[in-house]
Structure 1
Amino acid sequence: MTTSESENGAYVEPGEFKRDTNYITTRITADGRDGYRVEPGRYRLVATRACPWANRTLIVRRLLGLESVLSLGLCGPTHDKRSWTFDLDPGEVDPVLGIHFLRDAYLARYPDYPRGITVPAIVEVATGQVVTNDYAQMTLDFSTEWTEYQRAGAPQLYPKDLREEIDLVNRRVYTEVNNGVYRCGFAGDQTAYDAAYDRLFTALDWLEERLSTQRYLVGDTITEADVRLFTTLARFDPVYHGHFKCNRQKLDEFPVLWAYARDLYQTPGFGDTTDFTQIKEHYYIVHTDINPTRIVPKGPNLAGWLTPHGREALGGNPFGEGTPPPPPPVAERVPTGHQPA
């Protein structure tokens, strides 16, 4: 199989799948130590509902109530080799940044930028330059550096006393699950696929056991760890089970994980940022190496996401001493028909 660029700096290579993890690591902080201070209105988050890595930022931004200080530009679910594009906007141009290709924001800062154009990205509005695309650090900074502008009642997604355990869980979830589904889907030979498949389901079995006695991954409230796992689980049956050959069993055949995923989906901030139509369109249309016909499947039936989950019996409270976020702004609501009715 020839090398070809996939999503978010990922590449298909002969043998084991490799992901390019060299992101722009500039940080936006309360003290501005990298030259970019947290300021309302200064930056624009560019994301897409289709991508799991970008979906994390949509969830955290909403949970913390940062909508009024960090504006949002949404790219469509598909892209070509050049860039993600703002094809959902009138004229296919972002109304704030004035660009069609997200690539333009990267090139504005790095004229010879050599890597893939990835989402999420944060762009400085005044200069039109990308500041960072380091998605893992981005959401942690929303929790720790943007505290002055978080809503009243915002949850503690990265509490100091749980950070060590959250980091440990996140490392395993990232390597074995978030990235594990990609190792299956983009494996270049049978041996690599078999190994990736075994690693993925070993980790899912571990999560099934861990979550059988506790409502959330770390502590008794939602944390960054739950956000990171959720975006992969939400895509499992619509995409990864078939498209990426992760087919030992579907998510809805894991009694505990399926209940856990439904619990989160029904929590404000999770389900209301999840767009199943765009998720399917992205994977089945963009990944032509895997799906050359670009046919997007009609299923699966999504109604189960709204059924009772019973996880309340384990105790815990999703927001701890905080409160749920209000409904999303009208302009940011998932289109009708893109979610279970």
Structure 2
Amino acid sequence: MDSSTNSGYSTPGKPFTRDTNYINDRIVADPEAHRVADHYEYNTIGTLTTGLTQGAEAWPVEAGRYHLVAARACPWANRTIIVRRLLGLEDAISLGTPGPTHDANSWTFDLDPNGVDPVLGTQRLQQNYFTRFPEYPRGITVPAMVDIPTGGVVTNDYPQITLDFSTEWTAFHRDGAPNLLPEEHLDEMFDVIKRIFTEVNNGVYRAGFAGSQEAYDDAFDRLFTALDWLEERLTTRRYLMGEHITEADVRLFTTLVRFDPAYHGHFKCNRHKLIEFPALWAYARDLFQTPGFGDTVDFQQIKDHYYIVHRDINPTGIVPKGPVLTQWLSRHGREDLGGSPFGDGSAPGPVREGEGVDPAHNPLYAGRG
């Protein structure tokens, strides 16, 4: 959940603390079954229960009603683009992609003709937040699910959005859609997801936005302790939970794919590059070359976002030219561990027209432009 309203991301003398106050409404298949729970404790990785937080609403699943606004630059938003594609929800949920270099007020639709989202008719995502909450007090974040008829944001609760794509939108899943939430692995998977969020997904931000040496050192050590754990785990299994992709792999991938282009240098996460972890690097390439993962990635937008927007830690706004992208296409050899990405399912079809990435920004698209 990357925010557009902070002029500074690092507070001198203090550790980085992520704002986890989201719009907790949910889009569900049966709104009547979802009620405010008596003792619902919100968490940062989402829930598979039917509980709602106090004050939250349940909206009905309807094909064509909602617009997913998800900047390719943002790792939290990238998750939703991946899961939408893996499950085949393109016909049910339209996609809007703001550009990577938002200003202090809002993500903007500057990549669209005339700078206007063609579905919502707005120039700034802020307009859609203010349509529903005229005095919305927090950051204008992506991803966001917008109600097309009213133009108002329904939810920006990014960890919940992907879970609900899997569990609430099943009527619109494609034939052969993978089961990203296998029941036999759920307990362990959520333990893994929680550690990945705390130490890796958010860990790179805790290092990059640390306001003191002590806070940075702590975040750095915790991050690489977790990466060492993942390296060991992935040495003997193809995917985080075994033989097939799950929600856990989606959540780890969006951090790994940004590690060398952004986090290693920009966030000072520089004990090792991703390419120096044999298992993690091969695992990341395996996912990148799997339809639905790598074809959602725009490396240039990733670099532009971090190096241009975060001026408090990169005052010049200079964007690095590297790293070399073709290395993502090198053989990974993970097939030797067995398993298959989609299990009994199948890969998604070609990327929809208008949803592809600039061939100069992703080696998977080379020769297509």
Q: Same fold (TM over 0.5)?
A: yes
Tell me what 1:276 maps to. 299
Q: Could you tell me how far apart the structure 1 residues matched to 2:177 and 2:5 are?
A: 32
Could you tell me which runs of 5 or more consecutive residues in structure 1 were left unpaired when the two chains were aligned. 1-5
**1:96 matches 2:119:** yes
**1:215 matches 2:215:** no
Question: How far did 1:302 drift?
Answer: 1.2
The 8 Å contact of residues 3 and 140 in structure 2, kept in 1 or not, is answered as no
Q: Secondary structure at the match of 2:228?
A: helix
Provide the aligned C-alpha RMSD in A: 1.3
Give 1:157's match in structure 2, choosing from 168, 172, 180.
180
**1:27 matches 2:26:** yes
Question: How far did 1:219 drift?
Answer: 2.9
Q: How does 1:310-321 map to 2 (within 5 A)?
A: 310-321=333-344
Question: How far did 1:35 drift?
Answer: 4.0
Paired AA for residue 119 in structure 1: V
Q: Secondary structure at the match of 1:17?
A: coil
Tell me what 1:250 maps to. 273
**1:16 matches 2:15:** yes
Q: Secondary structure at the match of 2:315?
A: coil
Per-residue CA distance 1:267-286 (angstroms, 9 max, x = gap): 00011000001000000000
Q: Secondary structure at the match of 1:19?
A: coil
Q: Could you tell me how far apart the structure 2 residues matched to 1:27 and 1:148 are?
A: 17
Between Structure 1 and Structure 2, how many residues are aligned? 337
Paired AA for residue 83 in structure 1: S
Q: Could you tell me how far apart the structure 2 residues matched to 1:117 and 1:103 are?
A: 6
Could you tell me which runs of 5 or more consecutive residues in structure 2 were left unpaired when the two chains were aligned. 33-56
TM-score (norm 2): 0.89
Q: How does 1:1-341 map to 2 (within 5 A)?
A: 7=3, 11-13=9-11, 14-33=13-32, 34-340=57-363, 341=366
Tell me what 1:3 maps to. none
Q: Could you tell me how far apart the structure 2 residues matched to 1:176 and 1:234 are?
A: 16
Q: Secondary structure at the match of 2:69?
A: strand
Q: Could you tell me how far apart the structure 1 residues matched to 2:27 and 2:104 are?
A: 28
The 8 Å contact of residues 88 and 348 in structure 2, kept in 1 or not, is answered as yes
Q: Could you tell me how far apart the structure 2 residues matched to 1:82 and 1:69 are?
A: 30
The 8 Å contact of residues 10 and 312 in structure 2, kept in 1 or not, is answered as no
TM-score (norm 1): 0.97
Question: How far did 1:8 drift?
Answer: 6.7
Question: How far did 1:7 drift?
Answer: 3.6
The 8 Å contact of residues 143 and 157 in structure 1, kept in 2 or not, is answered as yes
Q: Could you tell me how far apart the structure 1 residues matched to 2:182 and 2:248 are?
A: 11
% identity of equivalent residues: 68
More displaced 10-residue stretch of structure 1: 33-42 or 80-89: 33-42
Tell me what 2:43 maps to. none
